[in-house]
Amino acid sequence: MAKVNYEKAWKTLKEKRIQEYIKLHQTCNQAVIPNNQYHLISIANAMKSKKDLEHILNEMDKLDGTKDFINLLADMNREDK
């Protein structure tokens, strides 16, 4: 059986989820007014996915004892202002 580096796998998974969160954040914060129902539904789905990822990443921070996601949120809040 192959030896698995679980720490590396965890970090890779967390980084992928953080990148996904950043993309969803950008999608949700676009200053575009929905021009049809499909667009409105797409934005609503992105917002739900973003909220779900936020919960998961907060839990991952707690489990691994880091503040990677919390620090990202602080940086993003500074950029949004």
How is residue 27 written in tokens?
A: 């999608």
pTM here is 0.85
pLDDT at 34 over 70: no
pLDDT tens by residue, 5-32: 999 999 999 999 999 999 999 888 875 6
Question: Which residues contact residue 9 at a Cβ distance below 8 angstroms, ignoring those fewer than 6 apart?
Answer: none
**Averaged confidence pLDDT in the chain:** 90
How far is 51 from 49, CA to CA, in rounded Å?
A: 5
Instruction: Give the pLDDT band (50/70/90) at residue 38.
Output: confident
Residue 58 is predicted with a pLDDT of 98
Q: Mean of the pLDDT values across residues 54-81?
A: 93
